Amino acid sequence: MTSPSRLKPHEPPPARLRILIVGPTGLAGVDEEARRVEALMAARGHQTRCLLAARESWGGGPFPGDADLVVVLGGDGSILRTARWMGYDQVPVLGVNLGALGFLADFSRQEVERALDEIAAGRFRLVEHLLLECELLRGGRGLQRELGLNEVAILAGPPFSMIEIQLHVDAELATTYRADGLIVSTPVGSTAYNLSAGGPIVRKDLDAFVFTPLNPHTLTNRTVIDSASRVYELCVPRPNAGSACMVDGRVIAELAAGDSIRIRRAAPRFALVETQNHGYYRTLREKLAWGGMRAEAATPRAAARGHEGS
C-alpha cells in the first residue's frame, strides 16, 4: 500500500509542503522546538500545523491525514505513538530526538533545519517499514485489533510461572514454547525488546517477523526469523492470572484460557525519512555502539563518508 502523501522520493516535492508537527508536552524542549520548526518552515513559505499533547491523551482524536510530512518531536516512544495514531493512513515521518536513545528519532535538533531543506529540495529517501496487525481472538471471535511498529509480546505475568504458547503458521502447528513469554518482532523492533532478550538485529527494511522466546525451558527453542507473508497465531491454553498481550510496550489485553493472538503483515507501511547524511548502519554504530564504537568515535568516520547511501 502506498503512502497517501504527495511526498515521494526521487520526485520533486510540492513547492509548498504541508508539515504537521507533533510531540508530547511535558518533555523538556518540545514546546520550544515546535515553535522553532514552525517558524523555520513558515519563513520558507510552507504550511505548518502543530499538535502537541500530553502522553496520556496522545492520539485522542482523528489523525489529520492531509499532511505531506509529519515531524515528530521527542524520542522513539513518540514515534511509536504517532505510528499508532496514524493507523491505516500513514504519512512519512521525520523523527527529531529530544529524548535519550533516539534510534527511530534519528535527527538531532541541530540537524533539523538542514534536514527540512534537504527534503524540500527532494534530496531524501523514504524507507518503508513493516507494520504488524495483531488481533485478539476469544472463542473464535475477534475482540480487539491493533497496529504495531515494534512488536507483540505475550508475557506470563503473575504468579510468574512459565506458560505454554502454541505457535501456528498458516493454521499449521509449528511448535509449543514453554517460557516466560514470547516476543514477535518486526525488523524495526528487532533493536528494541527483541535485542534486550538476546534476539538478532534484522535490517529494518526487510519483510520478516522475529520470534524470540523469553527464558525458554528447553535448549531447542531459539530465535526464528520467518516471512511476513504468512499468518501467525499464538494460542495460550492455560495463562497465568496476570498473563497479558502487549503491543509496542502497551498492554492491550489480559489473557483468558484458550485465547489466541493472530499476527500478520498490515496493509499500510510506516515510512521514515532519511537524508543523505543519515543511514541505517550509521544509526547502528552511533546509537547502539555496534562493534564497540562509541558515538563520538563513529561520527567523524560517518562524516568523512560524505553522501554515500545506507
* Residues designated catalytic: 76
* Phi, psi at 124, each rounded to 5°: -160, 170
Decide if 48 contacts 73 (C-beta within 8 A). no
Decide if 209 contacts 186 (C-beta within 8 A). yes
Q: 106: which DSSP letter?
A: -
Beta strands in the chain (DSSP E): 18-24, 47-53, 69-74, 93-97, 124-138, 141-148, 151-155, 163-169, 172-179, 181-185, 208-214, 224-227, 232-236, 244-247, 250-254, 259-275
* Phi, psi at 256, each rounded to 5°: -105, 160
Q: Which residues contact 57 (CB under 8 A, 6 or more apart)?
A: none
70 Rama sector, left if φ>0, alpha if ψ -120 to 50, beta otherwise: beta
